[in-house]
Amino acid sequence: MLSLGEDISFKVRKEAIKHLPVISKLVSKQFFGRLFAFYLLKSKDNSNWAIRKACIDIILDISELCSA
């Protein structure tokens, strides 16, 4: 998942972000911390606005996972 977020194709990076909430529900809290750090990094991505928009699209799901 983390390596897909670093793919050359922005479409692959965007799909990795879109599936982040689903994957995050299945992993341990410790690994979720790594996924959340990945999410924060991608939310500040200056190379492509679609990546930032994908982060915005899942922000509610991510916030619910953080509060659980």
35: which residues sit within 8 A by CB, 6+ positions away? Answer: 1, 2, 20, 23, 24, 27
Distance CA 9, CA 27 (A): 25
Q: Among 53, 64, 55, 52, which residue's Cα sits nearest to residue 24?
A: 64
Across the chain, what does the average pLDDT equal?
92
What is the value of pTM for the model shown? 0.87
13-28 residue pLDDT tens? 999 999 999 999 999 9
Distance CA 67, CA 38 (A): 18
